[in-house]
């Protein structure tokens, strides 16, 4: 299996790559003397059938090493990075800096920083843990640069990949369990605001959510700066499921956590898939009722766009309409809680004003055209 670029984040002065690489192909990965360093990881990966693969991270601080027209072409990036002497070695992260002398290869520092992950304090409940490589057995690579001379070129769209052609059945997916994780110590517990922590802009079109077989969705924090958004999402979902069980119908259920390498490196959230339609202006009363129920739990959604709401026929719940209707009636559910705030925060009057502002924006949000979602 060849190394494959899965995700790219380009900044003004650096570039981050998330790469699926084959282990045991060459260099120190093939050296028997190095095997002892990987026994624990191999056990974790082999238990889920992914022992020959690993997701690694590269930060490119010497942008000149990869020409501008090649930085977003997965195969070109791999071809260039593989020239580095450190490339075949065993590492989880690689920092590529400016060369020590003109004409020399860049300086490389293996494992200068640890791979990102949520902290234990940001995980709640006794949900199962799934290996990302089991959930996405055929990850969608970043495509090669298009051939501008070929008018018939059919570019791959990384934002709309097709699901794997032969998905595993739920019984074939391996999961792990930690002991039950603690709930927030107080109703006002919340992670730091993403806008205050994230060092890079949020790209709405970035491929971070994946539709999986068997009615599931996977949301990933592909890079460290996306962790605060994932933490917000987990907290909001968990509170909806546990603070008041009658409100569980306001959002999809959590099915588990997704990890890379080992269960102590959680980088994703697995939820059920919602089946329904986007709301229209005619659904304003139902949307207001659902949002009011969310606000009653002191949760601000943060992004009540039409694309973040579904009108569903919730036959599995005793209450409809976000806990205010009857069985089998159409209900409104929310997705994408990355911008959510759990309160009350600060002055109570200001908190209530923020709720009112979010409620007042609903009517205009429902006017969004389908092609703008």
- Render pLDDT for 302-360 as a digit per residue (tens, 0 to 9): 999 999 999 987 655 444 344 444 445 678 999 999 999 988 877 899 999 999 999 99
- Residue 128 token pair: 């199962």
Residue 216 CB neighbours (<10 A): 18
- Residue 161 clears pLDDT 50, i.e. is over it: no
- Residue 131 clears pLDDT 50, i.e. is over it: yes
- Residue 300 clears pLDDT 50, i.e. is over it: yes
Q: Within this chain, do residues 94 and 209 fall inside the same structural domain, yes or no?
A: no
Enclosing H/E stretch for 242: helix 227-242
Predicted confidence band of residue 23 (pLDDT cuts 50, 70, 90): low
Identify the domain boundary among 115, 137, 153.
115
Residue 144, pLDDT score? 78
Q: Within this chain, do residues 210 and 359 fall inside the same structural domain, yes or no?
A: yes
Predicted confidence band of residue 223 (pLDDT cuts 50, 70, 90): very high
Question: Is residue 301 in some structural domain?
Answer: yes
Domain that holds residue 333: 203-318+327-367
Q: What is the DSSP letter of 335?
A: -
Q: Which residue has the higher pLDDT, 11 or 184?
A: 11
Closest to 105 measured CA to CA, from 144, 142, 66, 132: 66
- Residue 145 token pair: 């640069």
Identify the domain boundary among 96, 115, 134.
115
Residue 14, pLDDT score? 94
Instruction: Output the CA torsion sign for 334, 340, 343, 347.
Output: negative
Instruction: Output the CA torsion sign for 310, 227, 237, 314.
Output: positive
Residue 50, pLDDT score? 55
* Residue-wise pLDDT tens digits, 70-93: 999 999 999 999 999 999 999 999
Residue 175, pLDDT score? 45
Closest to 58 measured CA to CA, from 98, 108, 18, 106: 18
> For residue 265, what are the CA distances in angstroms to 41, 49, 355?
12, 18, 35
Predicted confidence band of residue 141 (pLDDT cuts 50, 70, 90): confident
Q: Residue 57's Cα: distance from chain center in Å?
A: 15
Residue 127, pLDDT score? 93
Predicted confidence band of residue 2 (pLDDT cuts 50, 70, 90): confident
Does residue 170 sit in helix, strand or coil? helix
Q: Within this chain, do residues 111 and 208 fall inside the same structural domain, yes or no?
A: no
Q: Which residue has the higher pLDDT, 2 or 7?
A: 7
Residue 39, pLDDT score? 42
Question: Is residue 131 in some structural domain?
Answer: no
Does residue 286 sit in helix, strand or coil? helix
Residue 345, pLDDT score? 77
Q: Within this chain, do residues 75 and 221 fall inside the same structural domain, yes or no?
A: no
Residue 215, pLDDT score? 86
Enclosing H/E stretch for 356: helix 348-360
Q: Within this chain, do residues 111 and 233 fall inside the same structural domain, yes or no?
A: no
Residue 293, pLDDT score? 93
Whole-number average pLDDT of the chain: 77
Residue 9, pLDDT score? 94
Residue 306's CATH number: 1.10.510.10
Contacts for 372 with CB less than 8 Å, ≥ 6 apart: none
Question: Is residue 183 in some structural domain?
Answer: no
CA–CA dist 237, 253 (Å, integer): 7
Query: What share of the chain in percent tops pLDDT 70?
Result: 68
Residue 67, pLDDT score? 94
**Cα distance between the two ends of the chain:** 37
Question: Is residue 179 in some structural domain?
Answer: no
The answer to whether 311 touches 283, Cβ cutoff 8 Å, is yes
Indicate the number of domains in the chain. Answer: 2
Residue 35, pLDDT score? 42
- Residue 1 clears pLDDT 70, i.e. is over it: no
Query: What share of the chain in percent tops pLDDT 90?
Result: 55
Mean pLDDT across the stretch 252-260? 95
- Residue 126 clears pLDDT 50, i.e. is over it: yes
Residue 213, pLDDT score? 82
Query: What b/e sequence results for 31-64 when a residue is b if at least 16 CB atoms lie within 10 Å of its CB, and e otherwise?
Result: eeeeeeebeebbebbeebbbbebbbbbbbbbbbe
Does residue 194 sit in helix, strand or coil? helix
Residue 249, pLDDT score? 79
- Choose the weakest-confidence range: 159-163, 213-217, 285-289, 334-338: 159-163
* Residue-wise pLDDT tens digits, 164-213: 333 333 333 444 433 333 333 333 333 333 333 344 444 443 568 888 88
Question: Is residue 354 in some structural domain?
Answer: yes
Q: Residue 97's Cα: distance from chain center in Å?
A: 28
Residue 248, pLDDT score? 53
Residue 146, pLDDT score? 59
Q: Within this chain, do residues 225 and 346 fall inside the same structural domain, yes or no?
A: yes
Rg over CA atoms, the chain? 22
Question: Is residue 232 in some structural domain?
Answer: yes
CA–CA dist 50, 201 (Å, integer): 32
CA angle (139, 143, 146) in 5-degree steps: 165
């Amino acid at each position: 299996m060849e190394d494959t670029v899965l995700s790219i984040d380009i900044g003004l002065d650096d570039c981050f790559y998330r790469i699926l690489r084959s282990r045991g192909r060459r260099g120190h990965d093939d050296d028997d003397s190095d095997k002892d360093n990987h026994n624990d990881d191999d056990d974790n990966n082999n238990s889920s059938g992914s022992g020959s693969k690993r997701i690694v991270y590269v930060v490119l601080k010497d942008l000149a090493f990869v020409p501008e027209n090649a930085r977003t072409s997965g195969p070109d990036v791999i071809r260039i990075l593989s020239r580095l002497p450190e490339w075949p070695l065993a590492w989880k992260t690689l920092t590529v800096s400016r060369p020590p002398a003109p004409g020399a290869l860049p300086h490389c520092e293996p494992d200068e920083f640890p791979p990102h992950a949520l902290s234990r304090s940001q995980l709640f409940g006794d949900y199962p843990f799934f290996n990302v490589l089991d959930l996405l057995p055929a990850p969608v690579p970043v495509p090669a640069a298009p051939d501008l001379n070929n008018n018939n070129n059919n570019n791959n769209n990384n934002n709309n990949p097709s699901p794997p052609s032969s998905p595993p059945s739920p019984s074939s997916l391996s999961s792990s369990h930690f002991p039950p994780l603690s709930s927030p110590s107080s109703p006002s517990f919340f992670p730091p605001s993403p806008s205050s922590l994230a060092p890079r802009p949020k790209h709405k079109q970035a491929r971070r959510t994946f539709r999986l077989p068997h009615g599931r969705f996977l949301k990933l924090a592909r890079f460290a700066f996306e962790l605060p958004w994932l933490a917000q999402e987990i907290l909001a979902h968990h509170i909806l499921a546990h603070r008041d069980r009658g409100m569980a119908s306001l959002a999809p259920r959590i099915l588990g956590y997704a990890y890379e390498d080992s269960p102590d490196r959680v980088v994703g959230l697995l939820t059920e898939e919602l089946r329904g339609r986007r709301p229209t202006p005619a659904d304003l009363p139902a949307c207001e009722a659902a949002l009011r129920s969310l606000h009653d739990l002191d949760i601000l959604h943060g992004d009540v766009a039409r694309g973040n709401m579904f009108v569903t026929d919730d036959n599995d719940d005793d209450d409809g309409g976000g806990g205010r209707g009857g069985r089998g009636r159409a209900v409104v559910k929310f997705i994408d809680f990355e911008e959510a705030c759990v309160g009350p925060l600060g002055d109570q009057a200001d908190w209530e004003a923020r709720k009112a502002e979010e409620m007042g924006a609903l009517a205009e949000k429902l006017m969004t055209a389908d092609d703008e979602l």
